[in-house]
Amino acid sequence: MVAMRTEEEIAQIRHAGHILARVFAKLKNKIICGISTQELDDYIKSLVEEHGGLCAFLGYRAYPANSCISLNEEVVHGIPSLKKLLKVGDIVSVDIGVKFGSWFADAAVSYPVGNIETSRKKLIDVTKKALDLGIREAYAGNFLSNISYSIQRYAESFGFSVVRDLAGHGIGKNIHEEPEIPNYGRLDCGITLKKGMVLAIEPMVNMGGWEVEVLPDGWTVVTKDRLPSAHFEHTIAITDNGPEILTRL
Ligand code: MF3
Ligand code: CO
């Protein structure tokens, strides 16, 4: 069952979302050559807590860090480490969940580190735009599958592929709730969207094939062909006026 949130509940999730927006705005300046993903994770924790939130991923299904930080061929769920240093040309994908009171918001951004190859820059830009196009479909009365369809169509039109094994999700009282929101699908099928639904939409786009695997650490999802991947995510609410992005100021 997909939960419908009241205005008051959405206000709580918006508060969590605005903490995320502030954290990402500050984090941008720390995306520099030589910094470790562990340092970024520590910084994220301090920023989230400064704003009165908690990092929601820590301890979720025994996940061992505050955030997920994934480099290049790592798609998602990269575990921050002192041994992983950003270098020029990398794509670094940062995914953060915030709990405020009893409510959750979730967002992710892929950043280029310094000057990167044109094709990698394109991958980042296309993934971001795919998220925007997916969000545009998130209005009451539309089919959920049209979010999926738009994301897939746009990403594949550049010769990229969308990850099939992971998906966006409902969010609110828990990080992951119904419905599941795949990043591929057909037009006009499945459930329809309603006012009050709160969704985390999160395209993961690969430069090569869509297949992924999990590393022996049990978390890090990497592309099978080891080509790079990018990931953007926003938490949105469906309102009378269309989608409201809760993780943007
Ligand atoms: N970031 C994932 C999502 O957006 C959830 C990560 S949970 C963790 O849905 F345990 F891996 F952190
Ligand atoms: Co998510």
Tell me the mean pLDDT in the region 124-132: 99
Give the tokens for residue 11: 């206000």
CA of 138 to the centre of ligand 1 (A): 22
Among 67, 74, 77, 174, which residue has the most ligand 1 atoms within 8 Å of its CB, making it the best to mutate?
77
Give the pLDDT band of residue 96 (cuts 50, 70, 90).
very high
Residue 42: predicted pLDDT? 99
Model pTM above 0.95: yes
- Give the number of other Cβ atoms within 10 Å of residue 142's Cβ: 17
Give the pLDDT band of residue 23 (cuts 50, 70, 90).
very high
For the stretch 140-151, pLDDT in tens is 999 999 999 999
Q: Which residue has the least CA distance to atom 11 on ligand 1?
A: 77
% helix / strand / coil in the chain, to the nearest 5?
30, 30, 45
Residue 225: predicted pLDDT? 99
Tell me the mean pLDDT in the region 85-102: 98
DSSP structure string for 145-156: HHHHHHHHHHHH
For the stretch 56-88, pLDDT in tens is 999 999 999 999 999 999 999 999 999 999 999
- The number of the ligand 1 atom at minimal distance from the alpha carbon of 175 is 9
Q: Which residue has the least CA distance to atom 5 on ligand 1?
A: 57
Q: Which residue has the least CA distance to atom 1 on ligand 1?
A: 95
Give the pLDDT band of residue 178 (cuts 50, 70, 90).
very high
Which ligand has the shortest distance to the CA of 68? 1
Tell me the mean pLDDT in the region 161-188: 98
